[in-house]
Structure 1
Amino acid sequence: MVPWTNDIRRYGAVAMLLHWGMAILLAGLLILGLYMVALPDAGYDRRKITLILVHKAVGMLALGLVLVRAAWRTANPLPAFAAGLPGWQQVAARVVHLCFYALMLALPLTGWLMSSAGGYPVPVFEWFNAPDLIATDEHLFRALIALHRWLAYALVVLLALHAGAALWHHFARRDDTLRKMLP
């Protein structure tokens, strides 16, 4: 049985649940985001509006979970790197993880800001609407759309790099880097 907390050898159950849960959530948000922006804008499209509202609500959930995840990571030790891992790879791993946290915060925040600037509500699962962070501003709205899109592309690149490195460690290097995050 996997302990709840991390130790020097491996991640605990909570860290694993947060990691894999966020991975599924972020992949879903990326897929949904790409799909919904590809739908036509012409007229009143109930399906597109519904998908945008779902994307916003799930994005707010992701924002909450990344805050929980960051708090959990701060309170728990990180497992040691695999034996013999070069220093540059250790630094690269830390930088990639910091970039993940930055993107996991920046994406929902830019989405929220974008909605505020566009004058659109940010519903949180029909429980309530998140408050507007800024006043309506069409120019800023367009700029935030572009920023949100490019941050999403950066997340795709980072996810591919992260998954590729994990698989490289598992199959080529044959160390337990990936197994530390598996139950």
Structure 2
Amino acid sequence: MTKLPSQSAYKPTAIALHWLMGLVLAVTFALGLYMADMPLSPDKLRYYSWHKWIGVSLFMLAAVRLAVRLTSPHTLAGGSRSLQESLALWAHRILYLLMFAIPLSGWLMSSAKGVPTVYLGLWQLPDLVGRNAVLGRSLQTLHVTLNFTMAVIVIGHVAAALKHHFVDHDGVLARMLPCVEPRSSGKPS
């Protein structure tokens, strides 16, 4: 039996980027929740700076991840897709879109609120829009909405991976685990 393309492991670069971004996204989401309702203080300002630094870093990592994905696509075998495969495809597309839209919405929000984004405390990024309090509030709502949308999709992504592993026993989760050889699906090639 040979492995189907859909059952082969991802490249180490793709695996590393997947897990690094997953971890960093979780950290920045938690930090965003924690700092959002804090009273104004030096700690809150420091957390906001960290949150922005992480967001800019995630934007750059997303660009690298997309480049890796486009140069070594990992497609499903076969012509027609099942509903499950179509849902997975669209979930991944939306996640990629959100990996860019969320940091961009945060940057736009900071610009509209008149709060500069200074990456790592060293490089001030240009404002993308002029100062506008109404726009700033709208962009804040958008930023929060996009983040919770991503959280829901990530929860679905994790649930699907666990279903593949514990219910389907098809090796799909193993494809994205470092140092684990995925099982063959048992289907002829």
Q: Is the 8 A contact 1:10 1:79 kept in 2?
A: no
Superposed counterparts of 1:34-73, under 5 Å? 34-41=33-40, 45-73=41-69
Q: Is the 8 A contact 1:33 1:55 kept in 2?
A: yes
Alpha-carbon offset, residue 129 of structure 1: 1.1
- Structure 2 CA distance, aligned partners of 1:23 and 1:134? 29
Deviant stretches of 4+, over 2 Å: none
Identify the residue that residue 19 of structure 2 maps to in structure 1: 20
Structure 1: give runs of 5+ residues left out of the alignment: 1-5
Structure 2: give runs of 5+ residues left out of the alignment: 179-189
- Structure 2 CA distance, aligned partners of 1:62 and 1:124? 12
Q: Is the 8 A contact 1:11 1:79 kept in 2?
A: no
- Structure 1 CA distance, aligned partners of 2:8 and 2:159? 22
Aligned residues: 173
- Structure 2 CA distance, aligned partners of 1:144 and 1:77? 33
Do structure 1's residue 148 and structure 2's residue 147 form an aligned pair?
A: no
Q: Encode CA deviations 1:86-119: one digit per residue, 9 max, x unaligned.
A: 6111111110000101111110000000000011
Amino acid across the alignment from 1:123: V
Q: Could you tell me which of 91, 96, 117 is aligned with 2:91?
A: 96
- Structure 1 CA distance, aligned partners of 2:65 and 2:53? 18
Identify the residue that residue 3 of structure 1 maps to in structure 2: none
- Structure 1 CA distance, aligned partners of 2:34 and 2:98? 20
Amino acid across the alignment from 1:111: G
Do structure 1's residue 134 and structure 2's residue 134 form an aligned pair?
A: no
- Structure 2 CA distance, aligned partners of 1:11 and 1:80? 12
Alpha-carbon offset, residue 165 of structure 1: 0.2
TM-score (normalizing by structure 1): 0.90
Q: Is the 8 A contact 2:111 2:129 kept in 1?
A: yes
Partner of 1:24: helix, strand, or coil? Answer: helix
Q: Is the 8 A contact 1:110 1:144 kept in 2?
A: yes
Determine which structure has greater relative contact order: mean sequence separation of CA pairs < 8 Å that are 6+ residues apart, divided by chain length.
2
RMSD value, Cα: 1.8
Q: Is the 8 A contact 2:21 2:58 kept in 1?
A: yes
